[in-house]
Amino acid sequence: MQAETYIPRRLDDQWKLGFWDVDVAAPILFCFFVGYMSGSKASFAVCLGVGIFLSRWLSRTKADKHPAFAMHWIYWRLPPNPLTAMRVTPPSHLRRMVG
């Protein structure tokens, strides 16, 4: 009963959309949607250009940082509300470490 068991090594990988991480692809997809809903080709091109610029900026910003850098940045910079509040971690205004 010697069966080879597969042990996954990458349980905590970032979600992917094709070759891109979801947090890098989200600005392009959002701006693509906004440009499509605007109804003109010029505004579609402008929105798509803004989306590409934002995703390039985000990918360069998080290049040498933790893989969940975008989520950490959102937690510390955006105001807490039911969508961004995490129950396990303390509120972002409590910045003194205990211990």
> What is the Cα–Cα distance from 55 to 52, expressed in whole angstroms?
5
| Residue 86 belongs to some domain of the structure | no
| Residue 6 belongs to some domain of the structure | no
Residue 16, SS3? strand
Q: Which residues constitute the domain of residue 31?
A: 16-77
pTM of the model as a whole? 0.63
CB 86 within 8 A of CB 92: no
| Residue 43 belongs to some domain of the structure | yes
Domain count within the chain = 1
Q: Average per-residue pLDDT in the chain?
A: 81
Per-residue model confidence (pLDDT) at position 68: 80
pLDDT tens digits, one per residue of 8-45: 677 777 777 888 888 889 889 999 999 999 989 999 99
Residue 80, SS3? coil
The radius of gyration of the chain's CA atoms, rounded to the nearest angstrom, is: 19
pLDDT tens digits, one per residue of 73-86: 877 777 777 665 66
Mean pLDDT for the stretch of residues 56-78: 83
